[in-house]
Structure 1
Amino acid sequence: MTGFIANLHDPKNAATALCVEGGRVFCAGDILADIDRLCPILRQSSRIAIHCQSARLFLIAITAAWRAGATVIFPATDRPAYLDGISSQFDLYLDDAAIRERLASATATNIDSHMTLPAATDCRAVFFTSGSTGDAKPIPKTLALIEAEITIQEPLWQPHIPKGARIVGLVSHQHIYGLIFRIVWPVMTKRVFTADPAPYWEMMQGDINNGDVLITSPAHLKNLHPDLADVPRPSLIFSSGGPLDLAAARETTAMLGTCPTEIYGSTETGGIAHRQQTGDNCPWHPLPGVEVALNDAGCLRVRAAHIAGDDWYQTEDIAKINDATGTFTLHGRADRVVKVEGKRISLGAVERHLRQSHLVEDAIALIPDDDDRRLGVVAVLSPAGRDMLAEIGRFRMGRQLRREIAKFEDDAALPQRWRFVDQLPSDSQGKRPLHLLRALFAEMEPLTPEIVIQNRDDDRVNLSLHLPTDLLYFRGHFPGMPILPGVVQLHWAVDQAAALFDVPVTIGEVTQLKYRKPITPGSTVMLELDCDRDKAKIKFRYHSDAEGDHSSGILKWREAAS
Structure 2
Amino acid sequence: MTGFIEKLHDPQNADTALCIEGDRLFCVGDLRSDIDRLCPTLSASSRIAIQCQSARLFLIAITAAWRAGATVIFPATDRPAYLDGIVDQFDLYLDDTAILAKLAKGNDATLSTTLPAASDCRAVFFTSGSTGDAKPIAKTLALIEAEITIQEPLWQPHIPTGARIVGLVSHQHIYGLIFRIVWPVMTDRVFTADPAPYWEMMQGDIGAGDVLITSPAHLKNLHPDLADVPRPSLIFSSGGPLDLAAATETTAMLGTCPTEIYGSTETGGIAHRQQTGDNCPWHPLPGVDIGLNDARCLRVRAAHIAGDDWYQTEDIAKIDNTTGTFTLHGRADRVVKVEGKRISLGAVERHLRQSDMIEDAIALIPDENDRRLGVVAVLSPAGRDMLADIGRFRMGRQLRREIAKFEDDAALPQRWRFVDRLPSDSQGKRPLHLLRALFADMEPVTPEIVIQNRDDDRVNLALRLPTDLLYFRGHFPGMPILPGVVQLHWAVDQAATLFDVPVTIGEVTQLKYRKPIAPGSKLMLELDCDRENRKIKFRYHSDAEGDHSSGILKWREAPS
Give the TM-score category using the shorter length: 0.5 to 0.7
Distance in 2 between the 1:346 and 1:59 partners?
Answer: 38
Number of paired residues?
392
1:30-429 correspondence to structure 2 within 5 Å: 30-43=30-43, 45-107=45-107, 109-110=108-109, 112-336=110-334, 351-352=367-368, 355=369, 364-367=373-376, 411=434, 414-415=437-438, 421-422=445-446
Which residue matches 2:359? none
- State the 1:114 CA deviation: 3.0
Question: Is contact 2:131–2:432 with CA below 8 Å preserved after alignment?
Answer: no
Amino acid at match of 2:7: N
Question: Is contact 2:363–2:373 with CA below 8 Å preserved after alignment?
Answer: no
Amino acid at match of 2:289: E
Distance in 2 between the 1:136 and 1:57 partners?
Answer: 25
Distance in 1 between the 2:472 and 2:302 partners?
Answer: 49
Question: Is contact 2:122–2:139 with CA below 8 Å preserved after alignment?
Answer: yes
Question: Is contact 1:351–1:364 with CA below 8 Å preserved after alignment?
Answer: no
Amino acid at match of 2:192: T
Question: Is contact 2:367–2:436 with CA below 8 Å preserved after alignment?
Answer: no
Structure exhibiting the larger radius of gyration computed from Cα positions: 2
Question: Is contact 2:132–2:432 with CA below 8 Å preserved after alignment?
Answer: no
Which residue matches 2:16? 16
- State the 1:131 CA deviation: 2.2
1:428-467 correspondence to structure 2 within 5 Å: none
Distance in 2 between the 1:260 and 1:411 partners?
Answer: 26
Distance in 1 between the 2:363 and 2:64 partners?
Answer: 33
Amino acid at match of 1:272: I
Distance in 2 between the 1:371 and 1:165 partners?
Answer: 39
Distance in 2 between the 1:410 and 1:187 partners?
Answer: 34
Deviations 1:88-109 (A, max 9, x none): 11000011111111111123x2
Which residue matches 2:452? none
Deviations 1:266-295 (A, max 9, x none): 000000000000111100000001111111
Amino acid at match of 1:126: V
Which residue matches 2:464? none
Give the SS at the match of 1:293: strand
TM-score, length-scaled by structure 2: 0.65
Structure 1 alignment gaps of length 5 or more = 356-360, 379-393, 403-407, 424-443, 453-562
Distance in 2 between the 1:293 and 1:69 partners?
Answer: 37
Question: Is contact 1:336–1:346 with CA below 8 Å preserved after alignment?
Answer: no
Against the structure 1 CA distance between its residues 44 and 113, is the aligned structure 2 distance closer, same or farther, given a 3 Å change threshold? closer
Against the structure 1 CA distance between its residues 326 and 169, is the aligned structure 2 distance closer, same or farther, given a 3 Å change threshold? same
Give the SS at the match of 1:302: strand
Give the SS at the match of 1:76: coil
- State the 1:322 CA deviation: 0.6
Distance in 2 between the 1:129 and 1:370 partners?
Answer: 29
Against the structure 1 CA distance between its residues 277 and 27, is the aligned structure 2 distance closer, same or farther, given a 3 Å change threshold? same
Give the SS at the match of 1:116: coil
Give the SS at the match of 1:305: coil
Against the structure 1 CA distance between its residues 203 and 451, is the aligned structure 2 distance closer, same or farther, given a 3 Å change threshold? farther
Question: Is contact 2:363–2:375 with CA below 8 Å preserved after alignment?
Answer: no
Amino acid at match of 2:209: G
TM-score, length-scaled by structure 1: 0.64
The CA RMSD over aligned residues, in Å, is 3.5
Against the structure 1 CA distance between its residues 12 and 278, is the aligned structure 2 distance closer, same or farther, given a 3 Å change threshold? same
Question: Is contact 2:377–2:416 with CA below 8 Å preserved after alignment?
Answer: no
Amino acid at match of 2:291: A
Question: Is contact 1:167–1:215 with CA below 8 Å preserved after alignment?
Answer: yes
Structure 2 alignment gaps of length 5 or more = 336-344, 350-361, 382-391, 397-414, 424-430, 448-469, 479-560
Give the SS at the match of 1:139: strand
- State the 1:44 CA deviation: 5.8
Distance in 1 between the 2:67 and 2:436 partners?
Answer: 35
Distance in 2 between the 1:150 and 1:37 partners?
Answer: 28
Deviations 1:5-40 (A, max 9, x none): 000000000000000001100000000000000000
Distance in 2 between the 1:316 and 1:409 partners?
Answer: 17
Distance in 1 between the 2:223 and 2:295 partners?
Answer: 41
Against the structure 1 CA distance between its residues 346 and 85, is the aligned structure 2 distance closer, same or farther, given a 3 Å change threshold? farther
Against the structure 1 CA distance between its residues 194 and 446, is the aligned structure 2 distance closer, same or farther, given a 3 Å change threshold? farther
Question: Is contact 2:316–2:331 with CA below 8 Å preserved after alignment?
Answer: yes
Give the SS at the match of 2:126: strand
Amino acid at match of 2:237: S
Distance in 1 between the 2:297 and 2:247 partners?
Answer: 26
- State the 1:134 CA deviation: 2.9
Deviations 1:206-239 (A, max 9, x none): 1100000000000000000000000011000000
Amino acid at match of 2:367: E
Against the structure 1 CA distance between its residues 413 and 61, is the aligned structure 2 distance closer, same or farther, given a 3 Å change threshold? farther
Against the structure 1 CA distance between its residues 224 and 102, is the aligned structure 2 distance closer, same or farther, given a 3 Å change threshold? same
Against the structure 1 CA distance between its residues 86 and 154, is the aligned structure 2 distance closer, same or farther, given a 3 Å change threshold? same
Give the SS at the match of 1:319: strand
Against the structure 1 CA distance between its residues 346 and 30, is the aligned structure 2 distance closer, same or farther, given a 3 Å change threshold? farther
